[in-house]
């Protein structure tokens, strides 16, 4: 890559990192009355970013770089954004902040009607985006490809059908088993002490607080400004302890990926998602989710992790956990218990939550479902799929922040992440058994080193498919994931 192109992409990345700072502030501490103004600010910066990427001098710099594969990625991004009208990009950016504030209010009141007009606008903008980008298949295709290049409605349908067929028999067997004790998870846990424990846990997992911080948000998220400023958030419900613990571990997984990107990729083209115009270091949302779900489930729910950390948790909450053993806690956080909340779902039912959201997104995009009908469709599917009665929109179709941000097309990446995480762990178990042995003994350093070498270092210089291919793994092969779930939940 030429110096001129690298400099131009570095400047673009600086603008997008500034957008991320504004969005982080909006979701953690901005006054609710500032939403409309913040929307204008973000829209202005996104307009500037679009001008920078479509500047003829950027195209000249790409052409001067010749056949450099990194330059080709920039060329594809220029072509992508040339198809999107400036007013559409700015409208999406401006509306996201306003819609986010409306979502938070609607969720707090459990009232979908407060969010409905804003979501209708989100869907309308998504359809305009799909039309502008063009598609030969489903209008969902160009939306999902923003977050996971190469995936389509058809490819996701194949993956989901295979995965569903593998999960449902395991779920039936697991639900027939005796239920572990869980009463202690719902006791009164002081939020400040939860955050204290979460901070200590994040540090133990390798999160570098010199290059990050942990804050409070309605919905946990990670945001990266550069590899040297990677922030995470979580929430601290008084009456459900696992949310703060596993929400934090999940976001630490994202953060380790961002902090672990090789510095060579942090200011050039691949510090920026050129297609989606997001300032991230990871190669795709699906690969990002593989790192968070790997840490949350394969590590964070493992016996070794809790034999090491439960004494500290019990010391933090001696009154609430004095009558609980490590084994009881471990069984409780690995129980199979279908519920309404995705971020609290067990591993067996989690992907069924994702499949519901993706079905709704696809139907919204092709017009077979209207926004006003989402609550009824959602509640009926939860009853059919999981036997769950939804008592409030807050615990139903309003529980996730993604739609307010315009992230239609992002939900499939959670399941892709689950599948990829299992593939990576299976690969390590077969090719580097000392790594998984160390994990079983509570030593995570070899795992971090292996993930850094295989995934984190590359930033956006390799696609998810290329990373898997280097390891001899097939894209979207759910077999390792189904085998992992079967071993974990079918054993006596």
Select which of 148, 222, 251, 347 is catalytic. 251
Token look-up 């699906």 returns 286
250 is in an annotated binding site: yes
Tokens representing residue 185 in the block? 């998870």
- Kind of pairing, strands 214-216 and 222-226? unpaired
Give the C-alpha separation, 82 to 112, whole Å: 35
Q: Please state, in angstroms and as integers, the Cα–Cα distance from residue 396 to each residue in 102, 109, 144, 369, following that order.
A: 16, 12, 23, 17
251 tagged catalytic? yes
81 is in an annotated binding site: no
- Kind of pairing, strands 229-234 and 214-216? parallel
441 is in an annotated binding site: no
Token look-up 């069924």 returns 352
Give the C-alpha separation, 252 to 58, whole Å: 35
The separation between the first and the last C-alpha atoms of the chain, rounded to the nearest angstrom, is: 56
Token look-up 């009665």 returns 389
Burial class of residue 426 (count of CB atoms within 10 Å of its CB; 0-12, 13-18, 19+): middle
DSSP 278: B
| 232, 245 contact by CB (below 8 A) | no
Give the C-alpha separation, 339 to 426, whole Å: 28
Dihedrals φ, ψ of 67, to 5°? Answer: -90, 10
Nearest to 42 by CA among 410, 406, 472: 406
| 245, 201 contact by CB (below 8 A) | yes
| 222, 181 contact by CB (below 8 A) | no
Tokens representing residue 79 in the block? 């072509």
Nearest to 156 by CA among 346, 464, 347, 413: 413
Give the C-alpha separation, 427 to 447, whole Å: 12
Token look-up 């291919």 returns 469
Annotated binding site for Zn(2+): 250, 254, 289
Annotated binding site: 250, 254, 289
Q: Which residues are catalytic?
A: 251
């Amino acid at each position: 890559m030429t110096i001129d192109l690298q400099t131009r992409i570095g400047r673009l990345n600086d603008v997008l990192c500034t957008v991320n700072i504004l969005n982080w502030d909006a979701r953690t501490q901005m006054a609710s009355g500032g939403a409309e103004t913040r929307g204008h600010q973000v829209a202005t910066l996104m307009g500037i970013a679009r001008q920078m990427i479509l500047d003829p001098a950027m195209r000249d710099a790409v052409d001067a770089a010749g056949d450099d594969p990194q330059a080709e990625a920039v060329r594809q991004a220029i072509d992508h954004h040339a198809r999107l009208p400036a007013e559409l990009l700015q409208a999406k950016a401006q509306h996201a902040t306003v819609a986010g504030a409306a979502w938070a209010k609607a969720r707090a009141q459990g009232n979908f009607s407060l969010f409905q007009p804003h979501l209708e606008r989100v869907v309308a903008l998504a359809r305009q985006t799909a039309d502008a980008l063009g598609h030969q298949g489903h209008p969902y295709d160009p939306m999902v490809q923003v977050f996971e290049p190469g995936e389509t409605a058809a490819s996701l349908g194949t993956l989901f059908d295979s995965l569903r067929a593998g999960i449902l028999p395991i779920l039936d067997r697991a639900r027939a088993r005796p239920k572990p004790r869980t009463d202690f998870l719902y006791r009164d846990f002081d939020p400040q002490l939860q955050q204290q424990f979460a901070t200590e846990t994040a540090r133990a997992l390798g999160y570098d607080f010199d290059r990050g911080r942990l804050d409070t948000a309605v919905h946990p998220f990670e945001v990266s400004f550069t590899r040297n400023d990677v922030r995470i958030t979580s929430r601290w419900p008084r009456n459900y302890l696992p949310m703060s613990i596993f929400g934090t571990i999940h976001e630490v997984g994202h953060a380790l990926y961002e902090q672990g990107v090789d510095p060579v990729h942090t200011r050039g083209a691949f510090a920026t998602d050129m297609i989606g115009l997001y300032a991230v270091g990871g190669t795709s949302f699906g690969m990002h989710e593989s790192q968070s779900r790997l840490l949350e489930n394969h590590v964070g729910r493992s016996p070794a992790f809790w034999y090491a950390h439960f004494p500290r948790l019990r010391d933090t909450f001696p009154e609430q956990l004095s009558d609980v053993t490590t084994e009881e806690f471990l069984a409780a956080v690995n129980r199979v218990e279908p519920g309404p909340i995705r971020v609290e779902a067990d591993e067996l039912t989690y992907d069924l939550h994702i499949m519901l959201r993706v079905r709704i997104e696809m139907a919204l995009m092709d017009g077979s479902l209207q926004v006003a009908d989402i609550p009824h469709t959602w509640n009926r599917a939860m009853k059919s799929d999981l036997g769950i009665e939804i008592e409030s929109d807050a615990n139903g179709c309003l529980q996730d922040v993604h739609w307010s941000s315009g992230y239609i097309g992002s939900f499939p990446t959670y399941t892709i992440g689950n599948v990829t995480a299992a593939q990576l762990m299976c690969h390590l178990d077969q090719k580097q058994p000392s790594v998984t042995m160390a994990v079983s003994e509570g030593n995570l350093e070899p795992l971090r080193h292996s993930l850094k070498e295989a995934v984190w270092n590359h930033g956006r210089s390799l696609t998810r498919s290329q990373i898997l291919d280097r390891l001899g793994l097939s894209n979207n092969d759910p077999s390792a994931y189904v085998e992992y779930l079967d071993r974990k939940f079918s054993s006596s």
